[in-house]
Structure 1
């Protein structure tokens, strides 16, 4: 059944888990909807359990049609993009439902937490670890590009661990600003300052290369703990990015291999023609060979991450309490009534450290993303220490503020795409 009464021409993954948007079958017939995980401007996210396979849990994003009125195209775009993508390192849209008042997106439940939080919590961290993370991201984005999709908002907050396990894979989420290349020329300035490519800020037509630039910025941060571009004044920040001005500051980069620096320079190349593609990046010896160092850089990187990317702990604590209460209620209910197949409703050992927030992805929401940032649909983030990060006087970018996300309606944006 077409979304909002319109024909959906998006390509769907050939998966038994992915179904047509269905107005006849109610989501309540297939899932038990449990507690609230988070809210956004147009939506809320709830924990859901499959009725067919009790014990299987998902995140369901519930969008209010009335609140979304006039901005339906944004949601339709996100659904089309997600239906086109089936990759082990991309958070999956499994099913969609619709009734008169709401649209329901059934997503994978990702419980491993955000990228930077996990690095800080590790006891050891090396270039090889960073290389392994970047390889997974490159493989997913390369696949995405082969499918004609440009993410346009790659950043650490959108990189999540699938599970709390030490060997968990990394997942890419939040496709609210993504676009399919076959739907027209991209010229709109959108993304998140600090991660956005020069050609986007220059309001030039752009393509897949903007994602590679963002991966370069992420790679830089993963090796030192602070961003390559920073200024409290956005105009100055944009000027730095447009010129591609960044340094490998001493002492933070003294122990980092020349191969890693060469890799980053080729990803953050202002000249789009010379910038690596994902495939070229995957072939670089720092990714595919043995040139990534095994030296432990955890101390320096984790301290800089805590200093420069500190989050709002009260917000995490609030959502942690919400998720914990909901999961405990589910566990108690399961223990009292019992499941037909003997599975408990939830493993509460995971819930005790979980936090969750929701986001309204897409171009249709407010022009600028909330300065504190929001987590991603389907994500349950592992909370890190509630204590404030120690001050490092030598930090190159002390007390970096969270930059706001640029959406296509912002004042400096180019022509609409």
Structure 2
């Protein structure tokens, strides 16, 4: 698994990111001055049991298995639109994954910075993702967690290519085993993944094509095709492939784009477009994508529906978020009667990098129910319990935006109250 090269060849610079079990550092290759890489440093002590409890042993084994799987997958892949693993090194304390340095930032951040954005831009982006995913599938790899946060720009240049990253949930597909683990990010997960615990025979690479369909939908309107406050309703929408091209928000989008998305958001994986078929669709292969500027509406929706939530998630250490939001929810529960009775089954409140949380913390975070204005806005929907909503449904563009300042102030007030009581 590990190269015989020495980590001493690299001079570590600033920290690019941190987690509970690892950190990512900028590093310069001393054998080639001016050549920089990103090195993920995984502490070995977190890959071995620290206690004799069954839970601790399983967590350590799971982390080690996940690391080995990610390394095996990345070593298979060499594609211009996939972040490359150069080497795996170790010393007494850490394993080091020497990765290609990607400096252009996340997809959504770049879109809102552009100033102009068209359907053709979205088509070009999706084409690159399809090329990378088609290559993955040809190598027997299923990503299983394709989403905008895992699509990065290689450089700050205006014409920079897109890079697919984060293979922590990826899987090597073979004839000896089937994929039957319910994993991924809610909102992007395919119908067949939600059926793995209901007697289904598992799923395959088609789940990545579904996720690309969801991404394409968001790139053209700025809000997700599937969303609901109640997780069971969200998953019902996904299982039924129940989504709409809402008017007037999709009126200026080409029929070709809608047809392309419809072939990817196909409930039956056998009828769903493969990456090869999607690459041959006129919206990708021909000139059917429109050149009309979508920037004002799409950028506004992305800021409101995605970037505000990302700011909040990055602002707090995950364990602090867990501690404070649990109390925040308790305070709100006294004045809020209508809350989901299935919060223990919740999977869609927030998705955190597993590297930043223990398995137990992840499950606790997933059980938190946040007030409506603090979550991603739902898609066009009606409520059976509200007659007025039947005649006047609420669209994502009309939902009150996520307010980072409001949540910050509320959490600070809770902390002050806690300090006063203690």
**What TM-score comes out, normalization by structure 2 length?**
0.72
**C-alpha displacement of 1:260:** 0.3
CA distance, structure 1, for counterparts of residue 195 and residue 309 of structure 2: 30
**C-alpha displacement of 1:360:** 5.6
Structure with the higher helix share, 1 or 2: 2
- Give the corresponding residue for 1:156: 148
Aligned-residue CA RMSD (Å): 2.7
Q: 1:367 to 1:281 in 2, by over 3 A?
A: farther
**C-alpha displacement of 1:312:** 4.4
Mean Cα deviation higher: 283-292 or 66-75:
66-75
Q: Does 1:306 align with 2:303?
A: yes
Q: 1:187 to 1:312 in 2, by over 3 A?
A: closer
Q: Is the 8 A contact 2:120 2:291 kept in 1?
A: yes
**Aligned residue among 113, 119, 140 for 1:121:** 113
Q: 1:87 to 1:97 in 2, by over 3 A?
A: same
Larger Rg: 2
Matched position secondary structure for 2:185? coil
Q: 1:78 to 1:244 in 2, by over 3 A?
A: same
Q: 1:93 to 1:180 in 2, by over 3 A?
A: same
Q: Is the 8 A contact 1:226 1:305 kept in 2?
A: yes
CA distance, structure 2, for counterparts of residue 359 and residue 34 of structure 1: 23
Q: Is the 8 A contact 2:22 2:43 kept in 1?
A: yes
Q: Does 1:292 align with 2:323?
A: no
Matched position secondary structure for 1:36? strand
**What TM-score comes out, normalization by structure 1 length?**
0.73
Q: Does 1:26 align with 2:6?
A: yes
Residues 399-410 of structure 1: pairs in structure 2 closer than 5 A:
none
Q: Is the 8 A contact 2:21 2:356 kept in 1?
A: no
Q: 1:278 to 1:196 in 2, by over 3 A?
A: same
Residues 68-79 of structure 1: pairs in structure 2 closer than 5 A:
68-69=47-48, 70=61, 71-79=63-71
- Give the corresponding residue for 1:207: 204
Q: Does 1:103 align with 2:95?
A: yes
Q: Does 1:232 align with 2:226?
A: no
**C-alpha displacement of 1:68:** 2.1
- Give the corresponding residue for 1:190: 183
Of structures 1 and 2, the one with the larger relative CO (CA 8 A, separation 6+) is: 1
Matched position secondary structure for 2:396? coil
Q: Is the 8 A contact 1:34 1:47 kept in 2?
A: yes
Residues 7-406 of structure 1: pairs in structure 2 closer than 5 A:
21-22=2-3, 24-28=4-8, 30-69=9-48, 70=61, 71-182=63-174, 184-203=177-196, 204=200, 205-309=202-306, 310-313=308-311, 368=362, 395-396=396-397, 398=399
CA distance, structure 2, for counterparts of residue 306 and residue 263 of structure 1: 25
CA distance, structure 1, for counterparts of residue 354 and residue 89 of structure 2: 17
Structure 1: 5+ residue stretches without partners: 4-20, 320-357, 373-392, 402-417
Q: Give the length in aligned residue pairs.
A: 323
